[in-house]
Structure 1
Protein backbone atom coordinates (compact mmCIF):
# COMPACT_ATOMS: atom_id res chain seq x y z
CA UNK A 1 0.00 0.00 0.00
CA UNK A 2 1.15 3.46 -0.85
CA UNK A 3 1.51 6.10 1.80
CA UNK A 4 -0.35 9.37 1.62
CA UNK A 5 1.65 12.26 0.19
CA UNK A 6 0.32 14.60 2.86
CA UNK A 7 2.47 14.89 5.93
CA UNK A 8 1.28 15.97 9.37
CA UNK A 9 2.67 19.51 8.95
CA UNK A 10 0.94 19.97 5.56
CA UNK A 11 -2.39 18.89 7.07
CA UNK A 12 -1.85 21.23 9.99
CA UNK A 13 -1.15 24.18 7.68
CA UNK A 14 -4.28 23.43 5.61
CA UNK A 15 -6.39 23.20 8.77
CA UNK A 16 -5.05 26.58 10.02
CA UNK A 17 -5.83 28.26 6.68
CA UNK A 18 -9.34 26.80 6.64
CA UNK A 19 -9.95 27.95 10.24
CA UNK A 20 -8.68 31.46 9.43
CA UNK A 21 -10.99 31.68 6.39
CA UNK A 22 -14.00 30.57 8.45
CA UNK A 23 -13.18 33.07 11.23
CA UNK A 24 -12.96 35.86 8.65
CA UNK A 25 -16.36 34.92 7.19
CA UNK A 26 -17.85 34.79 10.68
CA UNK A 27 -16.53 38.30 11.54
CA UNK A 28 -17.86 39.69 8.26
CA UNK A 29 -21.34 38.31 8.97
CA UNK A 30 -21.27 39.76 12.50
CA UNK A 31 -20.40 43.21 11.14
CA UNK A 32 -23.24 43.05 8.63
CA UNK A 33 -25.69 42.06 11.37
CA UNK A 34 -24.54 44.81 13.74
CA UNK A 35 -24.58 47.46 10.99
CA UNK A 36 -21.10 48.79 11.84
CA UNK A 37 -19.90 48.67 8.25
CA UNK A 38 -21.89 51.67 6.96
CA UNK A 39 -19.97 54.42 5.18
CA UNK A 40 -21.86 57.24 6.93
CA UNK A 41 -20.60 56.03 10.31
CA UNK A 42 -17.03 56.36 9.09
CA UNK A 43 -17.28 60.00 7.89
CA UNK A 44 -15.80 62.64 10.16
CA UNK A 45 -16.18 66.40 9.60
CA UNK A 46 -13.93 69.20 10.79
CA UNK A 47 -15.65 72.26 12.28
CA UNK A 48 -14.50 75.91 12.06
CA UNK A 49 -12.33 75.46 15.18
CA UNK A 50 -10.51 72.42 13.78
CA UNK A 51 -12.32 69.88 15.98
CA UNK A 52 -13.65 66.56 14.65
CA UNK A 53 -17.44 66.15 14.62
CA UNK A 54 -19.98 63.72 13.16
CA UNK A 55 -22.34 66.50 12.05
CA UNK A 56 -21.87 68.20 8.67
CA UNK A 57 -20.54 71.79 8.72
CA UNK A 58 -22.87 74.79 8.76
CA UNK A 59 -22.36 76.57 5.42
CA UNK A 60 -23.61 79.89 6.82
CA UNK A 61 -20.33 80.19 8.79
CA UNK A 62 -18.27 79.67 5.64
CA UNK A 63 -15.57 82.29 5.00
CA UNK A 64 -14.88 83.67 1.53
CA UNK A 65 -11.35 84.70 0.55
CA UNK A 66 -9.40 85.62 -2.54
CA UNK A 67 -7.07 82.86 -3.77
CA UNK A 68 -4.49 85.40 -5.01
CA UNK A 69 -4.01 86.65 -1.42
CA UNK A 70 -2.57 83.31 -0.31
CA UNK A 71 1.24 83.28 -0.32
CA UNK A 72 2.84 79.88 -0.62
CA UNK A 73 6.55 79.58 0.08
CA UNK A 74 9.27 81.65 1.63
CA UNK A 75 9.80 85.26 0.50
CA UNK A 76 12.95 85.89 -1.49
CA UNK A 77 15.95 87.36 0.27
CA UNK A 78 15.57 90.65 -1.64
CA UNK A 79 12.01 91.07 -0.33
CA UNK A 80 13.21 91.11 3.29
CA UNK A 81 14.45 94.23 5.04
CA UNK A 82 17.75 95.46 3.62
CA UNK A 83 20.67 94.62 5.88
CA UNK A 84 23.34 97.07 6.87
CA UNK A 85 25.95 96.70 4.12
CA UNK A 86 29.00 97.59 6.21
CA UNK A 87 29.76 95.10 8.95
CA UNK A 88 32.34 95.06 11.69
CA UNK A 89 34.41 92.16 12.93
CA UNK A 90 37.73 90.82 14.18
CA UNK A 91 40.36 88.99 12.14
CA UNK A 92 40.58 85.50 13.68
CA UNK A 93 43.08 84.01 11.22
CA UNK A 94 45.27 85.44 8.47
CA UNK A 95 48.07 83.74 6.52
CA UNK A 96 50.22 86.40 4.82
CA UNK A 97 52.17 83.93 2.68
CA UNK A 98 49.01 82.41 1.16
CA UNK A 99 47.06 85.68 1.17
CA UNK A 100 43.82 84.66 2.85
CA UNK A 101 42.15 84.59 6.24
CA UNK A 102 38.90 84.71 8.17
CA UNK A 103 36.98 87.49 9.87
CA UNK A 104 34.48 86.80 12.67
CA UNK A 105 31.41 89.01 12.22
CA UNK A 106 30.67 90.82 15.51
CA UNK A 107 26.87 90.88 15.02
CA UNK A 108 26.13 87.38 13.70
CA UNK A 109 29.25 85.55 14.90
CA UNK A 110 29.74 84.01 11.44
CA UNK A 111 33.19 83.40 10.04
CA UNK A 112 33.70 85.14 6.67
CA UNK A 113 36.50 84.36 4.21
CA UNK A 114 38.76 87.23 3.15
CA UNK A 115 41.39 87.34 0.38
CA UNK A 116 44.31 89.76 0.16
CA UNK A 117 42.94 91.19 -3.15
CA UNK A 118 39.86 92.54 -1.29
CA UNK A 119 41.85 94.57 1.26
CA UNK A 120 42.88 98.23 1.06
CA UNK A 121 45.46 97.85 3.87
CA UNK A 122 47.41 94.96 5.37
CA UNK A 123 45.84 93.25 8.37
CA UNK A 124 46.98 90.79 11.02
CA UNK A 125 45.18 88.51 13.46
CA UNK A 126 43.28 90.42 16.16
CA UNK A 127 42.69 93.58 14.07
CA UNK A 128 39.22 95.15 14.16
CA UNK A 129 37.97 95.67 10.62
CA UNK A 130 34.92 96.90 8.72
CA UNK A 131 33.87 95.04 5.59
CA UNK A 132 31.02 94.18 3.24
CA UNK A 133 29.86 90.65 2.44
CA UNK A 134 29.32 89.30 -1.06
CA UNK A 135 28.63 85.82 -2.33
CA UNK A 136 31.84 84.11 -3.36
CA UNK A 137 32.55 80.80 -5.12
CA UNK A 138 32.36 78.78 -1.90
CA UNK A 139 30.22 80.97 0.32
CA UNK A 140 30.24 84.46 1.83
CA UNK A 141 33.36 86.53 1.13
CA UNK A 142 34.47 89.78 2.74
CA UNK A 143 35.13 92.62 0.29
CA UNK A 144 36.31 96.23 0.75
CA UNK A 145 38.03 95.35 4.02
CA UNK A 146 39.41 98.30 6.04
CA UNK A 147 41.00 98.59 9.46
CA UNK A 148 38.97 100.40 12.11
Structure 2
Protein backbone atom coordinates (compact mmCIF):
# COMPACT_ATOMS: atom_id res chain seq x y z
CA UNK A 1 0.00 0.00 0.00
CA UNK A 2 1.31 3.30 -0.86
CA UNK A 3 0.81 6.37 1.26
CA UNK A 4 -0.77 9.43 -0.12
CA UNK A 5 1.07 12.73 -0.18
CA UNK A 6 -1.05 14.25 2.60
CA UNK A 7 -0.43 11.28 4.92
CA UNK A 8 3.33 11.59 4.37
CA UNK A 9 3.13 15.30 5.01
CA UNK A 10 1.16 14.74 8.24
CA UNK A 11 3.63 12.06 9.45
CA UNK A 12 6.58 14.38 8.75
CA UNK A 13 4.86 17.24 10.65
CA UNK A 14 4.31 14.98 13.69
CA UNK A 15 7.95 13.81 13.57
CA UNK A 16 9.17 17.40 13.30
CA UNK A 17 6.94 18.51 16.23
CA UNK A 18 8.21 15.58 18.33
CA UNK A 19 11.79 16.51 17.49
CA UNK A 20 11.18 20.19 18.37
CA UNK A 21 9.59 19.18 21.66
CA UNK A 22 12.59 16.99 22.54
CA UNK A 23 14.96 19.85 21.63
CA UNK A 24 13.06 22.32 23.86
CA UNK A 25 13.13 19.84 26.75
CA UNK A 26 16.90 19.37 26.34
CA UNK A 27 17.37 23.17 26.32
CA UNK A 28 15.31 23.54 29.50
CA UNK A 29 17.37 20.85 31.26
CA UNK A 30 20.61 22.48 30.18
CA UNK A 31 19.52 25.94 31.40
CA UNK A 32 17.85 24.72 34.59
CA UNK A 33 18.55 26.93 37.61
CA UNK A 34 17.81 24.19 40.11
CA UNK A 35 20.71 22.75 41.99
CA UNK A 36 22.80 25.92 41.95
CA UNK A 37 25.42 26.24 44.63
CA UNK A 38 24.86 28.60 47.54
CA UNK A 39 27.50 30.99 46.23
CA UNK A 40 25.64 31.28 42.91
CA UNK A 41 22.38 32.15 44.68
CA UNK A 42 23.80 34.84 47.03
CA UNK A 43 23.26 38.52 46.34
CA UNK A 44 24.97 41.34 48.21
CA UNK A 45 23.78 44.83 49.07
CA UNK A 46 26.24 47.71 48.84
CA UNK A 47 26.21 50.89 50.99
CA UNK A 48 23.82 52.55 48.51
CA UNK A 49 21.26 49.73 48.76
CA UNK A 50 21.98 48.27 45.30
CA UNK A 51 22.17 44.50 44.71
CA UNK A 52 25.37 43.08 43.32
CA UNK A 53 26.70 39.53 42.74
CA UNK A 54 30.09 40.32 44.32
CA UNK A 55 30.63 40.94 48.03
CA UNK A 56 31.28 44.57 48.99
CA UNK A 57 34.84 45.64 49.75
CA UNK A 58 35.58 45.48 53.45
CA UNK A 59 36.41 48.77 55.07
CA UNK A 60 37.81 49.58 58.45
CA UNK A 61 34.78 49.70 60.70
CA UNK A 62 34.41 51.07 64.16
CA UNK A 63 33.29 48.74 66.93
CA UNK A 64 30.39 50.03 69.01
CA UNK A 65 29.78 48.67 72.48
CA UNK A 66 26.28 47.59 73.41
CA UNK A 67 26.20 50.03 76.32
CA UNK A 68 26.52 52.96 73.88
CA UNK A 69 23.34 51.98 72.03
CA UNK A 70 20.30 53.80 73.41
CA UNK A 71 16.93 52.25 72.60
CA UNK A 72 13.73 54.10 73.39
CA UNK A 73 12.82 57.64 74.19
CA UNK A 74 15.33 60.01 75.68
CA UNK A 75 14.56 60.45 79.36
CA UNK A 76 13.21 63.86 80.23
CA UNK A 77 14.88 65.88 82.93
CA UNK A 78 12.98 65.76 86.20
CA UNK A 79 10.77 68.79 86.59
CA UNK A 80 8.82 70.03 89.55
CA UNK A 81 5.43 68.28 89.52
CA UNK A 82 3.76 71.20 91.31
CA UNK A 83 1.87 73.44 88.91
CA UNK A 84 0.28 76.82 89.34
CA UNK A 85 -2.83 78.39 87.88
CA UNK A 86 -5.96 80.25 88.74
CA UNK A 87 -9.49 79.07 89.51
CA UNK A 88 -11.47 79.83 86.38
CA UNK A 89 -14.76 78.28 87.58
CA UNK A 90 -15.97 77.02 90.95
CA UNK A 91 -19.42 75.76 91.92
CA UNK A 92 -19.48 75.46 95.69
CA UNK A 93 -22.97 73.87 95.84
CA UNK A 94 -21.97 71.02 93.45
CA UNK A 95 -18.43 70.76 94.83
CA UNK A 96 -16.27 71.02 91.74
CA UNK A 97 -14.39 73.56 89.66
CA UNK A 98 -11.74 74.12 87.03
CA UNK A 99 -8.24 75.54 87.22
CA UNK A 100 -6.53 77.12 84.21
CA UNK A 101 -2.92 75.93 84.22
CA UNK A 102 -0.40 78.80 83.85
CA UNK A 103 2.03 76.71 81.79
CA UNK A 104 -0.22 74.85 79.33
CA UNK A 105 -3.32 77.09 79.56
CA UNK A 106 -5.42 73.91 79.82
CA UNK A 107 -8.46 73.66 82.01
CA UNK A 108 -8.00 71.06 84.79
CA UNK A 109 -10.90 69.65 86.82
CA UNK A 110 -10.78 69.60 90.62
CA UNK A 111 -13.16 68.35 93.31
CA UNK A 112 -13.89 70.14 96.58
CA UNK A 113 -12.35 67.19 98.49
CA UNK A 114 -8.94 68.08 96.97
CA UNK A 115 -8.95 71.59 98.47
CA UNK A 116 -6.61 72.28 101.39
CA UNK A 117 -8.41 75.58 102.07
CA UNK A 118 -11.45 77.35 100.65
CA UNK A 119 -10.98 79.06 97.26
CA UNK A 120 -12.95 81.46 95.10
CA UNK A 121 -12.94 82.15 91.39
CA UNK A 122 -9.80 83.98 90.13
CA UNK A 123 -7.74 82.81 93.15
CA UNK A 124 -4.12 81.84 92.41
CA UNK A 125 -3.52 78.19 93.38
CA UNK A 126 -0.83 75.50 93.24
CA UNK A 127 -1.72 71.86 92.55
CA UNK A 128 -0.52 68.46 91.37
CA UNK A 129 -1.81 66.73 88.24
CA UNK A 130 -3.23 63.22 88.57
CA UNK A 131 -4.36 60.98 85.70
CA UNK A 132 -7.91 59.67 86.14
CA UNK A 133 -10.10 57.53 83.87
CA UNK A 134 -11.75 60.73 82.58
CA UNK A 135 -8.51 62.68 82.01
CA UNK A 136 -6.34 64.79 84.28
CA UNK A 137 -7.53 66.06 87.63
CA UNK A 138 -5.97 68.52 90.09
CA UNK A 139 -5.13 67.21 93.56
CA UNK A 140 -3.65 68.90 96.66
CA UNK A 141 -5.00 72.27 95.60
CA UNK A 142 -3.66 75.03 97.84
CA UNK A 143 -4.27 78.76 97.65
CA UNK A 144 -1.25 80.98 96.97
CA UNK A 145 -1.16 84.33 98.72
CA UNK A 146 -0.35 87.49 96.79
CA UNK A 147 3.14 87.40 98.39
CA UNK A 148 3.98 84.01 96.84
CA UNK A 149 2.68 81.41 99.30
TM-score, with normalisation over the residues of structure 2? 0.54
2:61 aligned partner: 62
Q: Which has the higher helix share?
A: 1
Render the CA deviation track for 1:79-133: whole Å, top value 9, x for unaligned: 52222343221222222112111111111122222122222332233x1423131
2:126 aligned partner: 131
- CA RMSD of superposed structures (Å): 3.2
Return 88-97 or 99-108, whichever deviates more.
88-97
Instruction: Note the residue ranges of structure 1 that are not aligned, 5 or more in a row.
Output: 1-28
1:101 aligned partner: 97
| Higher Cα radius of gyration | 2
Q: Does the 8 Å CA contact 1:121/1:146 hold for their aligned counterparts?
A: yes
Classify 1:134/1:89 alpha carbon distance in 2 versus 1 (closer, same or farther; 3 Å): closer
2:118 to 119, 122, 125: 122
Classify 1:115/1:46 alpha carbon distance in 2 versus 1 (closer, same or farther; 3 Å): farther
Q: Does the 8 Å CA contact 2:86/2:100 hold for their aligned counterparts?
A: yes
CA distance in 1, matches of 2:69, 2:61: 17
1:146 aligned partner: 143
Render the CA deviation track for 1:18-59: whole Å, top value 9, x for unaligned: xxxxxxxxxxx7xx69xxxx745xx35141xxx223363333
Pairwise mapping of residues 73-92 of structure 1 onto structure 2 (< 5 A)? 73-75=72-74, 79-92=75-88
Q: Does the 8 Å CA contact 1:46/1:57 hold for their aligned counterparts?
A: yes
